[in-house]
């Protein structure tokens, strides 16, 4: 990875070093300075006291040229009646956890396999999800009232804070993508509301990535996060967030999911994920239509997509979310768990996972979205040309079928998988 005047390092190695720096203060100064340079990252100035910002204050979006506004737009501080966005992020989050991948983007090519079924369901309720950008598409399809993104990695929470800042600034889909990729944006000829995702990408890529453009956009994002959103970032957070953001700058739409240890598998690029179609050939990603993008953007601007650092079988994040939803009278409509459960099969851990799911307010219509990754045994619903299969299953079935830890994730992801014709 290239950092203006710093040596080239990989994003994976950079995130490891940043995490190590958080744990070892004596290591932090020299390592983070090497990675990011003395002047890299957000300003270290403290954000304004949240009480100084009127709850209903609003401001016009910034110029499409990307010039920094004098003040970041101020947005409603409440998250769908659940409390202040910053308080939810802070009070629900658990300590940072380790995983064996950076997970800047999804690796599930089959993620739209259930898109038509999700889109056909009634809107409302609460969405829970895990991982990076894939949840934006599921949110656009399921149209919940509020969403929580729960991931064991603090880096994932920081990535979602960065995403929120970009959604907040963006005037449209192409502008959003240009901001993400660190490219200057041309307002002239911007694709209209009826444009497809290929036209959006083509317009965002009209001008090459630029270090100064990226740096200015990143600084504006920091100001939004610490100012308008009220989330305080320490030095380690800011450095990690810059490494995440530079992953998109350096790799552009060729960015792929990466394991810490290579395994020879070819994972999809960001371009492939954004342009992916469902089984009927319809592009349904969150940038595929104006309606999908604007729905997610509105939720982001209103603080209704809340990233949390949490273990699915933990004692803080999941129980805390359950309590907040019960207080608000909201039921879980959709829970995208990906393949996380295959890492929860140890009996005592599984018991806590079942406890946490049981505590969530839900009903017979509440659904899991599970992703099975072919590791030598094909899923019955695995589509040709895909190494993953994405299925819908009823949340209520978990305790009935698997109160005790099952032997395999294959059993979990196949038993009770709903057919396309099943009523939802």
Tell me: the pLDDT tens digits for 183-231? 999 999 999 999 999 999 999 999 999 999 999 999 999 999 999 999 9
Q: How confident is the model at residue 45 (pLDDT cuts 50, 70, 90)?
A: very low
Which phi and psi angles does 305 have, rounded to 5°?
-115, 105
Contact 351, 160 (CB under 8 A): no
CA–CA separation, 129 and 146 (whole Å):
11
Tell me: the pLDDT tens digits for 282-297? 999 999 999 999 999 9
pLDDT at 81: 74
Written in H, E and C, the secondary structure of 328-394 is: HCCCEEEEEEECHHHHCCCHHHHHHHHHHHHHCCCCCCCEEEEEEECCCCCCCCCCCCCCEEEEEEE
pLDDT at 424: 78
Rg (CA), the chain: 21
Helix axes 317-328, 347-359, angle to 10 degrees: 10
Give, in degrees to the nearest 5, the angle at Cα 293 between 291 and 294: 65
Contact 139, 295 (CB under 8 A): yes
Which residues, other chains included, contact 96 with Cβ-Cβ below 8 Å and sequence gap of 6+? 19, 22, 152, 153, 154, 155, 309
Question: What value does the mean pLDDT take over residues 111-132?
Answer: 96
CA–CA separation, 43 and 23 (whole Å):
22
For residue 371, what are the β-bridge partners? 390
Q: How many residues does the chain have?
A: 424
Q: What is the pTM of this model?
A: 0.83
Residue 369, pLDDT above cutoff 50: yes
Best CA proximity match to 308, nearest among 235, 390, 231, 236: 231
Tell me: the pLDDT tens digits for 73-100? 454 445 667 889 999 999 999 998 776 5
CA–CA separation, 37 and 20 (whole Å):
17
3-state secondary structure of 269: strand
CA–CA separation, 191 and 176 (whole Å):
12
CA–CA separation, 414 and 372 (whole Å):
9
pLDDT, mean over the chain: 84
């Amino acid at each position: 990875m290239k950092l203006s005047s710093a040596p080239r390092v990989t994003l994976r190695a950079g995130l490891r070093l940043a995490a190590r720096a958080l744990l070892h203060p004596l290591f932090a100064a020299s390592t983070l300075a090497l990675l990011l340079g003395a002047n890299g990252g957000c300003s270290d100035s403290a954000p304004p006291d949240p009480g100084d910002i009127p709850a209903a204050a609003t401001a016009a979006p910034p110029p499409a040229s990307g010039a920094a506004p004098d003040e970041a737009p101020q947005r409603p501080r409440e998250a769908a009646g659940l409390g202040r966005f910053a308080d939810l992020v802070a009070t629900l989050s658990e300590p940072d956890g380790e995983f064996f991948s950076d997970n800047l983007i999804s690796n599930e090519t089959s993620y739209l396999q259930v898109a038509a079924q999700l889109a056909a369901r009634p809107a409302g309720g609460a969405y829970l999800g895990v991982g990076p950008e894939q949840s934006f598409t599921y949110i656009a399809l399921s149209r919940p009232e509020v969403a929580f993104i729960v991931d064991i990695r603090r880096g994932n929470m920081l990535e979602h804070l960065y995403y929120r800042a970009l959604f907040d600034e963006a005037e449209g889909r192409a502008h959003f993508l240009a901001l993400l990729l660190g490219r200057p944006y041309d307002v002239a000829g911007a694709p209209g509301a009826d444009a497809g995702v290929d036209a959006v990408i083509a317009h965002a890529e009209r001008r090459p990535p630029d270090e100064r453009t990226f740096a200015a956009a990143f600084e504006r994002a920091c100001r939004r996060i610490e100012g308008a959103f009220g989330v305080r970032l320490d030095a380690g957070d800011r450095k990690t967030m810059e490494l995440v953001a530079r992953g998109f700058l350096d790799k552009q739409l060729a960015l792929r999911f990466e394991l810490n240890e290579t395994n020879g598998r070819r994972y999809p690029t960001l371009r492939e994920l954004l342009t992916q179609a469902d089984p009927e050939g319809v592009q349904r990603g969150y940038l595929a239509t104006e309606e999908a993008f604007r729905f997610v953007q509105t939720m982001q601007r209103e603080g209704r997509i809340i990233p949390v650092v949490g273990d699915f079988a933990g004692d803080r994040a999941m129980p805390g979310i359950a309590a907040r939803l019960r207080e608000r009278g909201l039921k879980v409509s959709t829970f995208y768990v990906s393949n996380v459960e295959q890492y929860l099969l140890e009996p005592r851990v599984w018991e806590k996972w079942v406890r946490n799911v049981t505590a969530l307010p839900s009903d017979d219509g509440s659904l899991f979205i599970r992703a099975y990754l072919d590791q030598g045994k094909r899923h019955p619903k695995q589509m040709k040309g895909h190494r993953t299969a994405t299925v819908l299953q009823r949340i209520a079935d978990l305790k009935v079928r698997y109160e005790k830890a099952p032997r395999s994730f294959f059993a979990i992801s196949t038993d009770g998988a709903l057919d396309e014709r099943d009523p939802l």
